[in-house]
Amino acid sequence: MKIDYKKYSLLQLEGILMEVSQEIEERKKLEAESIRQKIENLLQESGLSLDDVYTEKDMGVRSNKVPMKYRHPTDPSIQWSGRGKMPIWMRDLIEQGATKDDFLIRD
């Protein structure tokens, strides 16, 4: 189905967009509820629970957190694990003459 949108004003197109967005959200909710009901029925028929079916790993639960290695010298709440791109605050302070060792968490 091809619709000629050129015949609509900007205001009309914005109205159409809002109506379509609302319809999409409503359909997503209905689809999610339908899927949820199917899952609940399958679990009830099988005698299993969600915990039996999904592990923490399946649910995206991270088991270990990387310890922080570096701390901002004046704001201890700002920390960096040492992984990934160096934070701007550290880069700026190193350019001013500091070293990475100056920010090590030694606790």
pLDDT along the chain (107 residues), means of 10: 92 96 97 96 92 76 79 93 93 94 90
pLDDT at site 91: 94
Per-domain boundaries in the chain: 8-53, 70-103
Q: What is the DSSP letter of 79?
A: E
Indicate the pTM of the whole model. 0.47
pLDDT at site 62: 62
Q: Can you name the residues that pair with 70 across neighbouring β-strands?
A: 80, 104
Q: What is the DSSP letter of 104?
A: B
